Amino acid sequence: MEAWLLAFILLGSLLLFLVLGLPVAFSLGGLSLAIGYFVWGGTGGFYAVTLGSLGKLSSFTLTAIPLFLLMAAVLRHSGLADDMYEMINRWMGSIKGGLAMGTVVISAIFAAMVGISTVATATLGLTALPSMLKRGYNKKLAAGAICAGGALGIIIPPSVIMIIYASEAEVSAGQMFFGGIIPGVLMATLFIIYIAVRCMRNPSEGPPVQENFTWAQKLTSLRSVSLPVLIILLVLGVIYLGLATPTEAAAIGLVGSLFCALVRRKLNLENIKQMFAMGVGVNAMVFWIIIGAVAYSRLVTMSGVGEWFSELVTGMEVNRWLILVGMQAIFFMLGMFLDPAGIILITGPFFLPVVTALGFDPLWYGILFIINMCMAYLTPPFGFNLFVIKAVAPPGLTMSDVYVAIWPFVLIQAITLAIIAAFPQLVTWLPSLMIK
Amino acid sequence: MRFFEKVISKVNESMMWIAGCFILIMGFVTTTDVLLRSTINSSIQWAFSLNGYLCAAVALLTGGYALLANQHVKVDIFYAHFPPRVRSIVDICTSSLLFLLCGVFVWMGMSICLESLVAGYRTEGVLDIPLFIPQMLIPLGGLLLGLQAIIDLVHNIKVALGLTTAKEEDKL
């Protein structure tokens, strides 16, 4: 079969099944097996796919994912956000827009502990949002800051999506982690500057809190960040110093967060059940997409479709940067409807060979992809964080409020994307310093 | 049918607990390994292989649980707007791909296991166990997911035939 026809059938039917509501995992896996039956001339290819799935699932890079996800679930149910928010209240409450800026800071701290995007949004949606609304903050500013802050979860390391990308693109997960730090901090800083400027120009959007706190009260509140900071230093520190791989760091982080939950007396049976349900559930979702993608990637690669696409794109007489912009535009559009794991696994077999052929650095390209996925968490109609905040927000906040609230933040993410695209050193500098 | 449904749901729910404990084991064994390595320069040789197999177990055994807990992500831009009966009919049709995936895992997985069992293959590396043990995870994972999907299929057929409404099914 002609490669273009096969690509058309594969992507067309994939789109059809996705639109018909079949989960991404089963659309990818089932469809690839069905089409593979004809392309491979029978069931011969099934053997390789089945055995390949087991090999992929037990591959070293991916073993970090369940550990990071359970760690995220443990921290989610440890009540850390409440105390950290109280600290922000005491230190930054008296500044115009201080609580919203502080929310971004807490989100960044959460992002440095957990590898997914929804944890900070869910926890801060429960604590910070009602508190800011009570103090007269503009609800769109408050909701936007919480959604956008949550999205930092996948760009500031650790990051589950980075691990999946690293496994697909065959780059080092540890280097990806450190490549994400500067872009992540830059994005958070731009969020904070935006909130500050907005509240300075219109103080009614984020009025200063009237309560006054003594220095003693302020200093005691700092205790709330001691455990998180310890966990961050532990997890990222051991990777940076070359003492542990990302998988080992994830294991240390999990044990550390369990200790943290124990100290805070949160390890009761009900909480453990919730931690397991969240960690195991999200892990199953991610891994079954990976399982589906094993069959899909094999079909795209072995049938020559991937090669055809790569030759088609690289053979075009256009500037390579235009192709890069085109890819980012496709990511952005897919991000409105699909989750990041699905997007990287669906586009990977097509795009990754092109990236290498065009001479781009796969590490830097991966970070551009991740920044784009931060946008995917916010863009309507199906940005994950929008639903997360709507689910936990007080009744006064409507979905259309949230839709309006996120656009300035999406614009800031786009600016970050452009800066990182223009200055690749911002990504590659830190990984080059790592002790290997 | 009710009994079958209860049993399968209970089994898949218990997979959540088993998988959670497996992740904890991964965490504690690996941490101990790192500690031993950085302090007394010794290490748990089998930790690396064990992690891989536990990770595969956690992933494969919980496909059915994720279906039960409605965790598998889908694009519901149009799907959410379908009337319940149409949704059930669409689900019946699209689930064919899910059953194909499960079928291949159970059938191919079993034949791979039997092959390893008969030939007496063992795992490579330090963790020396019969190879069919980790390979069993594939058919088992396919089976757990497939059985949970059968429950959904029966619900959908009932709704599609008008024997019950989607709301009544949700309550069960």
Any chain A CB within 8 A of the CB of B166?
Answer: no
The verdict on a CB contact (< 8 Å) between B97 and A291 is: no
Taking only residues 25 to 44 of chain B, the set having a beta carbon closer than 8 angstroms to any beta carbon of chain A reads: 26-31, 33-34, 38
For residue A149, pLDDT over 60 is answered with yes
Least CB–CB distance from A288: residue in B29, B66, B104: B66
How close B42 gets to chain A, by Cα (Å)? 14
Pick the more confident residue, B124 or A374: A374
Averaged pLDDT for residues B136-150: 95
The verdict on a CB contact (< 8 Å) between A284 and B52 is: no
The pTM for the full model equals 0.89
For residue A386, pLDDT over 60 is answered with yes
Per the structure block, which two tokens stand in for A393? 């927000």
Task: Residue B26: list chain A partners with CB under 8 A.
Answer: 63, 66-67, 251
Q: What does the DSSP assignment read for A12-46?
A: HHHHHHHHTT--HHHHHHHHHHHHHHHHTTSTHHH
For residue B41, pLDDT over 90 is answered with no
Task: Residue A247: list chain B partners with CB under 8 A.
Answer: 30, 51
For residue A382, pLDDT over 80 is answered with no
Asked casually if ipTM beats, i.e. exceeds, 0.85, the reply is yes
How close A293 gets to chain B, by Cα (Å)? 12
pLDDT over 90 percentage in chain A: 40
Amino acid identity, position A137 = Y
Condensed to tens digits (0 to 9), the pLDDT of residues A57-83 reads 988 888 999 999 999 889 888 878 888
B130 strand-pairing partners: B122
Cα separation, A400 vs A174, whole angstroms: 39
pLDDT over 90 percentage in chain B: 56
Give the model's confidence band at A427: pLDDT under 50 very low, under 70 low, under 90 confident, else very high: very high
Task: Residue A275: list chain B partners with CB under 8 A.
Answer: 20
- pLDDT, position A195: 96
Any chain A CB within 8 A of the CB of B139?
Answer: no
Do A362 and A355 touch, CB atoms closer than 8 A? yes
Task: Residue B16: list chain A partners with CB under 8 A.
Answer: 276-277, 280-281
Do A362 and A356 touch, CB atoms closer than 8 A? yes
Task: Residue B131: list chain A partners with CB under 8 A.
Answer: none
Task: Residue B59: list chain A partners with CB under 8 A.
Answer: 57, 66, 283-284, 287-288, 290-291
Cα separation, A61 vs A53, whole angstroms: 14
- pLDDT, position A421: 94
Q: Rounded mean pLDDT of chain A?
A: 89
Q: Which of A280, A283, A346, A382 to mutate to test the interface with B (most CBs of B within 10 A)?
A: A280
**φ, ψ dihedrals at A104, nearest 5°:** -65, -40
For residue A190, pLDDT over 90 is answered with yes
Task: Residue A277: list chain B partners with CB under 8 A.
Answer: 16, 69
For residue B25, pLDDT over 90 is answered with yes
Q: Which of B38, B39, B73, B136 to mutate to test the interface with A (most CBs of A within 10 A)?
A: B73
Q: What is the count of residue pairs from A and B with beta carbons less than 8 Å apart?
A: 209
Task: Residue B71: list chain A partners with CB under 8 A.
Answer: 281-282, 284-285
Pick the more confident residue, A86 or A411: A411
Cα separation, B137 vs B135, whole angstroms: 5
Averaged pLDDT for residues A152-166: 92
User: How crowded is residue B42: how many other Cβ atoms within 10 Å of its Cβ?
Assistant: 9
Any chain A CB within 8 A of the CB of B103?
Answer: no
How close A301 gets to chain B, by Cα (Å)? 20
Give the model's confidence band at A116: pLDDT under 50 very low, under 70 low, under 90 confident, else very high: confident
For residue A1, pLDDT over 80 is answered with no
Condensed to tens digits (0 to 9), the pLDDT of residues A343-369 reads 998 898 889 999 999 999 999 999 999
**Closest chain A residue by Cα to residue B146:** A26
For residue A49, pLDDT over 80 is answered with yes
User: How crowded is residue A136: how many other Cβ atoms within 10 Å of its Cβ?
Assistant: 12
**Closest chain A residue by Cα to residue B69:** A281
For residue A227, pLDDT over 80 is answered with yes
How close A216 gets to chain B, by Cα (Å)? 37
| CB contact burial A76-115 (16+ within 10 A = b; e otherwise) | bbbbbbebbbbbbbbbbbebbbbbbbbbbbbbbbbbbbbb
For residue A238, pLDDT over 90 is answered with no
- pLDDT, position B169: 61
Task: Residue A285: list chain B partners with CB under 8 A.
Answer: 66, 71-73
Distances (CA, A) of B141 to A47, A64, B167: 16, 20, 30
Averaged pLDDT for residues A51-61: 87
For A342, the enclosing helix (H) or strand (E) is helix A340-357
| Maximum distance among all Cα pairs of chain B, rounded to whole angstroms | 68
Do A187 and A413 touch, CB atoms closer than 8 A? yes
**Top-ranked range on mean pLDDT: pick from A121-125, A132-136, A156-160, B136-140:** B136-140
Query: In angstroms, what is the C-alpha Rg of chain B?
Result: 20
Give the model's confidence band at B167: pLDDT under 50 very low, under 70 low, under 90 confident, else very high: low
Averaged pLDDT for residues A240-265: 89
